[in-house]
Each structure stands twice: as structure tokens, then as C-alpha cells.
Amino acid sequence: MGRLSGKRAIVTGAGSGIGRASARLFAAEGAKVVAVDLVEAAVDETAEMIRKDGGTVSSVAADVSDENAVKAFVQHSVDQHGGVDVLFANAGISGGLVPLQEQTVPYWQQILAVNLIGPFLAIKYASPHMLAQGKGSIICTASVAGLRANAGATAYSASKAGVISLVQTVANEFYGSGVRVNAICPGLIETGMTKPIFDGARARGSDDKIGQLNPMKRYGLPPEIAHAALFLASDDASYVNGQAIAVDGGLSSTHPFAGRR
């Protein structure tokens, strides 16, 4: 029996990176997965990987900031798999490292729409099914950038701080319901979103320094975040609620310091 046997799970941003790793792991652990991503070809590829591994999955191309699209993919899980037990609202964008004075209102609106309004909408439409059954797990991808400065650009960091507040607030709004709401705060993970950082370091020949500021002196990989999500999705985390859990090699455990030998 897998840790998610019999559960119905929705994973957004499932076309690559953390979302793809999580969708595959959830399915391998027995969940019936609805994989969601803006890019249809990418999410279809994730679904094909899961099917080849013997998992149960359906894929949906959707914009997580579009209310009707979110309502539709939640209903898809209900129609195809009979309900929703796990929601991993993972989809996000970075917006790049744009200097503050060059940032525009549309730039902020796009980042907030995907990174913060997206999780809100997913919770809004998935949670009634969980509340009705008296149990469920909601997980949102935040970031160490939402905990404190210097881990991301301004708008991105603000959006992820908002995700942490959203999780804490909703966990209390669902008081006594049996529905848990938590956030994962990844550190530097090699994904499509962070590709420019890695490409730049490798072009400079300094790729051995990537992730050097955390005590483990390395960057993370998507499966490492996926396993944290699996824990939160499973009954193993039955008493974990309203938390923002950093999975960052220890980066957020300390104040800035000069590199050690």
C-alpha cells in the first residue's frame, strides 16, 4: 500500500520541475492524480510518464489565475476520480530579477495573479469537497524568499510571503474541519524557473558555488521538494497544520555571512 493509496490529488505546475516530480511521486504512492499546467505539451508529457510507471493520471492545460479554469480542473478531479483529497498548489513564476524602479504594475499583477491568487482560487474550489468529507490536505509552494529578504526579487518575494499568510489564515479559517493547510518554502532548487541562475553560473565556470550559502553547500533537486509534499499530503502529517516548512539545506536558519572554507 502506498502512502497515498485511495487518495485523489491535484498538482498544479505539473509540467516540469517540482510539480512534475510531485505528480509522479504522488501517483507512485497510489494517488489518482490530476496534473495541471499552463503548457499542454508539458503536462501531457508528465501524464505519459506516470502512465508508463503504472499510475493513474489525467492531464489538464489550465491557467491557474483564471477562476473558471480552476473551477473546471477541480470539477475534473471530482468527475474523473470521485473527489479531491490532496491539493498541491505549486504553479508559480519568478518574474526575473527586475530592478525595483523598472517594475510596472502589470509586472506585479502577473506575478501576484499566478503565485498568490492562483493558490487562493485552488483552495476556494477544492476545499468544499474536503470540508464536506471532514478531511484533506492542502499544500502550497511558497519560498524562502517569502520568509526574509535576499532570496528573490521584490514582487516574487512579496507574493510568496502572501502565500505563507494565506496558508496560516486558511488553516485557522478551517478550524475543527479536519482539513490541513501547509506551505513548503523551497530554497534554491534546479528547475526551469531557476535555469537562468544555473546557466549563468555554469557559463562563468562557477557552478561549484551554486548553493554555497547554505550549510549543506549545495542546491536542491525537485524530488527533494516532492518528498516533503508527499509527507504533508499523507496521513503521516496528520498533526501538521498551518506551517511554512523550509526545505532549503539550512539556508533560512542563519543570518547572512561571508563564505566559509
State residue 215's pLDDT score.
Answer: 86
Give the pLDDT score at 217.
Answer: 83
Q: Is 261 inside any structural domain?
A: no
256 falls within a domain? no
CA dihedral 15, 39, 31, 67 (to 10 degrees): 130
Task: Confirm whether 254 is domain-assigned.
Answer: no
Mean pLDDT of 74-94: 97
What tens digit of pLDDT does each residue of 141-157 get? 999 999 999 888 999 99
* pLDDT, position 209: 67
**Mean pLDDT of the region 87-114:** 96
Active-site residue identified among 107, 125, 156, 219: 156
pTM equals 0.94
Q: Which helix (H) or strand (E) holds 21?
A: helix 17-28
Over pLDDT 90: what percentage of the chain?
A: 80
- Into how many domains does the chain fold? 1
pLDDT for 258 equals 59
Please give the average per-residue pLDDT across 176-194, as a whole number.
89
**Which is it for strands 32-37 and 8-12: parallel, antiparallel or unpaired?**
parallel
The bridge status of strand 86-89 relative to strand 8-12 is parallel
What pLDDT score was predicted for residue 206?
67
Q: What are the two backbone dihedrals, phi and then psi, of residue 195, each rounded to the nearest 5 degrees?
A: -50, -40
Angle 208-157-19 from CA coordinates, rounded to 5°: 70
107 is catalytic: no
Q: Look at residue 226 and tell me if it is in a domain.
A: yes
pLDDT at 200: 65
How does 108-130 read in b/e, with b if 16+ C-beta sit within 10 Å?
beebbbbbbbbbbbbbebbbebb
Tell me: the pLDDT tens digits for 35-59?
Answer: 999 999 999 999 999 999 999 999 9
Give the bridge partners for 184, in sequence order.
141, 245
Tell me: pLDDT of 10 over 90: yes
Residue 32 maps to a domain: yes
Q: Is residue 257 part of a domain?
A: no
**Which range marks the domain in which residue 151 is found?**
8-245
More confident residue, 258 or 207: 207
Q: What is the pLDDT of residues 153-173, one digit of tens each?
A: 999 999 999 999 999 999 999
Any idea what the CATH number is for the domain that residue 187 is in? 3.40.50.720
The vertex-91 CA angle with 170 and 71, nearest 5°, equals 65
pLDDT one-digit tens code per residue, 186-228: 998 877 676 666 666 666 776 666 767 788 888 889 999 999 9
> Which pLDDT does position 212 carry in this prediction?
76
How far CA 38 is from CA of 16, 67, 73, 157, in Å, comes to 11, 14, 12, 22
Rounded to whole angstroms, how far apart are CA atoms 28 and 47?
12
Chain centroid offset of residue 163 CA: 10
- Read off the C-alpha cell for 202: 555554469
- Note whether residue 30 is domain-resident: yes
Question: Which pLDDT score, from 0 to 100, does residue 173 have?
Answer: 98
Let me know if residue 45 belongs to a domain: yes
